[in-house]
Structure 1
Amino acid sequence: MNRIISVVTPVYDGGEAYLRETYDSVRAERERLPQGWDLQWLVQEDGTTGRPIKTLPSEPWISPGMAERGGAGAARTSALPRAAGDLVRALDADDVILPGGLAREITALEDHPEAGWCVSAGVDLLPDGSTAVGPYDPPEGPLTYESLLSAYDADAFPVLAQHLTARKSLLLAVGAWPALPAWETIATVLCCAAVSDGWMIATPGGVYRKHPGQTTAQADYSEVAGVEDLRVIVRAQAEALRATGWRWP
């Protein structure tokens, strides 16, 4: 029986403008997985309209779901009971996976069984169509809690947290994605790092689309999200978990 990587994508009604491009990239990745692997795509509406899911074809490897609105973090976590994979990969509804991205992430975690999670370098797709690499991308190799926390405190978080790949057992153990109005992906990476070193893949594995419609581009984003409160709680949760002394697995 094939092993499975479960890709989790939250989407809200009205936020599916790029979902078909995301689908195309996920479908293409199914053909590029290492031998003995298969892919499951969990598309979870943050809401109960059913409209975003209707834009996708009905295919056995796509698992749609929906629940009352609670934000992207709650949507991702609500999808996890359907996850059949040993590995779980985050992917936003306006992003795409670059060719071979999932295969490299699977291989990295198979080659480094001590690592509970990994992240590939990302490429920013800007509104004018140009691209840019992450300004703080670390080199290929281990990712430690200390280095990530230091970068977080310097407001220079070095990895694309929206494209985390983690072992499901680790993800569940740290509470998956918290129900925060923003920064929930960074919170999850820091909590994973608090109990398990990760692995950085220098080859870009995904495209992070920056566009006027995304939540973080809205004029009232800082006020609504409460950025300073987020900065405090994300760090406090990770530090509290680290202080327990527990290590995964």
Structure 2
Amino acid sequence: MTRTISVITPVYDGGDAYLYEAYESLRTERLRLPEGWNLQWLVQEDGTTGNPTRNLPNEPWISPGMASKGGAGVARTMALPRATGELVRTLDADDAIIPGGLARDISTMEAHPELGWCISAGLDLLPDGSTAPGPYDPPEGPLSYERLLQGYDDDLFPVLGTHLTVKKPLLFAVGAWPAIPAWEAIAVVLCCAAVSDGWMIAAPGGYYRKHSGQTTAQATYSEVADESELRAIVRAQAEALRNLGWRWP
């Protein structure tokens, strides 16, 4: 029986400059998956223009979609009902999978069936083509909620939320990506960690592209919400789940 990992990529009209490179990384990654595994790519427009996915090939493993504009978190969540995979992996439209990245995600989840999620290190891809490791990457091994929450409180979150791989039922159970204007990728990692054990993969799983057009580089990014309110809601949701005492599964 074929098993599937579903990769979800949100994109907006005008934010698709590197989308084809994301496609190329996934096209070759399909050939590296463990035997018996298949790849589905859900490309979800944050908006309804149809423009960002217009130049993508019409291939059966690619599932384009669109919905009313609501931000990256809303776009990811709106793609989720189309996901056929038991595992869901995030990938931003301007990033790319490092060769073997998805295979390591799958192998980790198979080696540790008690886990609900894993996350891989990343490499910053700089404009000159050079790369640099993440400054706070934890070592290989179990990744606790307490460590993530401490990093969050210290404004030194140790992982890339966009490198999350999670079992789909767990993702649904925590409400998927919250409808907040920023930090939704961090929020869903914290919520998953609040109720389920996870694993840090030290080998980089993807490139995090640094460029002038990325959303977080825009001067307006800091104005999308009151930071104190945003910080409070992300923490409050995770802590509420933790304090329930419920564990997944």
For normalisation by structure 1, the TM-score amounts to 0.98
SS in 1 for 2:76: helix
Aligned ranges 1:107-126 → 2 under 5 Å: 107-126=107-126
Q: Tell me which residue corresponds to 1:247.
A: 247
**Partner of residue 94, structure 2:** 94
Partner SS, residue 85 of structure 1 = coil
2:52 aligned residue: 52
* Partner amino acid, structure 1, of 2:206: G
- Does 1:170 find its partner at 2:170? yes
SS at match of 2:219: coil
Q: Deviations over 1:170-219 (max 9, x none)?
A: 00000010111110000000000000010000000100011111111111
Distance 2:227 2:162 in 1: 18
Q: Residue 238 of structure 1: CA displacement?
A: 0.2
Post-superposition Cα deviations, 1:215-242, rounded to whole Å, max 9, x if no partner, equal 1111122122322221111001100111
Aligned equivalents of 1:244 and 1:3: distance in 2?
A: 32
Q: Secondary structure at the match of 1:132?
A: strand
Report the secondary structure of 1:149's partner residue.
Answer: helix
- Give the SS at the match of 1:238: helix
Contact 2:164–2:189 (8 Å) recurs in 1: yes
Equivalent residue number for residue 206 of structure 1? 206
Q: Tell me the alpha carbon deviations over residues 73-131 of structure 1, each in whole angstroms, 9 at most, x when there is no partner.
A: 00000001100000000000000000000000000011011110001110011233321
SS in 2 for 1:53: coil
**In structure 2, what residue type is equivalent to 1:226?**
D
- Whether 2:56 is the aligned partner of 1:37: answer no
Partner residue of 1:82?
82
* Separation in structure 2 between the aligned mates of residue 26 and residue 10 of structure 1, nearest angstrom: 15
- The answer to whether the 8 Å contact 2:109/2:118 transfers is yes
Q: Check conservation: 2:41, 2:62, Cα contact below 8 A.
A: yes
Larger displacement relative to structure 2 (157-166 or 184-193): 157-166
Q: Could you tell me which amino acid in structure 1 is paired with residue 104 of structure 2? A: R
Farther off after superposition, 120-129 or 84-93: 120-129
* Structure 1 alignment gaps of length 5 or more: none
Contact 2:97-2:207 within 8 A present in 1 as well: yes
Pairs aligned (count): 249
CA contact (8 A) 2:190 2:238 kept: yes
* Partner AA of 1:82 in structure 2: R
Calculate the aligned-residue CA RMSD, in Å: 0.8
Contact 2:138 2:200 in 1 (8 A): yes
Shift of 1:11: 0.4
Gaps of 5+ in 2: none
Distance 1:131 1:228 in 2: 32
Specify the code of the residue in structure 1 equivalent to 2:78: S
Partner of 1:105: 105
Match of 1:230 in 2: 230
**What is the distance in 1 between the residues matched to 2:2 and 2:52?**
29
Cα contact 2:105–2:165 (8 A) shared by 1: yes
Report 1:130-145 matches (<5 A): 130-145=130-145
Q: Distance in 2 between matches of 1:224 and 1:40?
A: 31
Q: What are the residue-to-residue correspondences of 1:144-183 with 2, within 5 Å?
A: 144-183=144-183
TM superposition shift of 1:3: 0.2
1:221 aligned residue: 221
Alpha-carbon distance, 1:162 to partner: 0.8
